[in-house]
Amino acid sequence: VTKIGVLTSGGDSPGMNAAIRAVVRTGLYNNLEVFGITRGYMGMIDDDIVPMHSRSVANIIQRGGTILKSARCKEFYEFEGRKKAYENLRKHGIEGLVVIGGDGSFRGAQKFATEFDIPCIGLPGTIDKDMAGTDFTIGFDTAVNTAVEAIDKIRDTADAHDRLFIIEVMGRDSGYIALHSGIATGAENILIPEAKTNIEDLIASLEDKQRRKKLVNLIVVAEGDEFGGAEEVAKVVRQRLPDMDTRVCILGHIQRGGSPSCIDRLVASRLGYAAVEALMEGRHNVMIGIINNKLHYTPLDLAVKAKQKIDKEWLKIVKILAS
């Protein structure tokens, strides 16, 4: 390959800029031409494709968001849209693509790469962490640290007033942010989509704590838990325990933003470098991850099927440590 493109697609995550920078600089180092494609697959269809230089990615390693912008793109679900995207890539002579995004973006890349002769390399960029084939996803570490910092602050005020706070963190189908931030902040309970919650047990443990005058309580809920988020859990708790001063806090989009953590910058830099190497070695249609500190290549079609499993033993640990 002599010309490659890079894009960020789907939900954004902190560290995407560090990955873009690594792709651009590694490509230029190897005398490739590197094109930045804006707004994910939209940019391929609308021909928003610009040459990147070393200076185009200066001063971005520490910035959240993505300088290439991200988007969801309806047209890319249709063959006609993907064909138009292909024609635009051809026009620029682009022979390989680096897609930084989540499993939806990889589903699109997989389809595109099997229909047209453009090898695609996927880099896992998502705050949800739930992708198989990697121990790290770009953005998770930052997001979970943001959640921890916020929950610590909530604990201070919860403690001052003896309140129960039910805190909602992001994760529509993934409980990783909830699990990790909940453990790290000493939550009494953690509700995640991957595990069934016995509401009677939850109420009984809160009643027990009320009796023991252990009044500070934090419950961390993933937005996609079976009750449908923190507000719904609070409704049940208020109904059953009207004496408890129960408050809800939804952390929301602060979890997506902010300066990426050191780990996210390292992972993004290593994966961005590896993506260019992979294209030069003639690899195609794989997601690159890191397992046990080694690069790991998972075919895109497998990467979109498998989910990283949560170790349920953590939930037991939460119960024991919060008692």
Binding residues (CB under 6 A) for ligand ADP: these are 9-11, 41, 72-73, 76-77, 101-105, 107-108, 111, 126
Least CB distance to ligand ADP at residue 71 (A): 7
Q: Which of 103, 128, 225, 264 is catalytic?
A: 128
SS (H, E, C) the chain: CCEEEEEECCCCCCCHHHHHHHHHHHHHHCCCEEEEECCCHHHHHHCCEEECCHHHHCCCCCCCCCCCCCCCCHHHHCHHHHHHHHHHHHHHCCCEEEEEECHHHHHHHHHHHHHCCCCEEEEEEECCCCECCCCCCEEHHHHHHHHHHHHHHHHHHHHHHCCEEEEEECCCCCCHHHHHHHHHCCCCEEECCCCCCCHHHHHHHHHHHHHCCCCCEEEEEECCCCCCCHHHHHHHHHHHCCCCCEEEEECHHHHCCCCCCHHHHHHHHHHHHHHHHHHHCCCCCEEEEEECCEEEEEEHHHHCCCECCCCCHHHHHHHHHCC
CB-closest chain residue to ligand ADP = 104
The two three-digit tokens of residue 163, written as one number: 């309140």
Least CB distance to ligand ADP at residue 112 (A): 7
Least CB distance to ligand ADP at residue 129 (A): 12
Q: Which is nearer to ligand ADP, 113 or 230 (CB)?
A: 113
Q: Which is nearer to ligand ADP, 131 or 183 (CB)?
A: 131
Is residue 128 among the annotated active site residues? Answer: yes
Buried b (16+ CB within 10 A) or exposed e, 175-191: bbbbbbbbbebebbbbb
Q: Which is nearer to ligand ADP, 64 or 108 (CB)?
A: 108
Least CB distance to ligand ADP at residue 105 (A): 3
Least CB distance to ligand ADP at residue 77 (A): 5
Q: Which is nearer to ligand ADP, 65 or 182 (CB)?
A: 65
Least CB distance to ligand ADP at residue 81 (A): 8
Residues with active-site annotation = 128
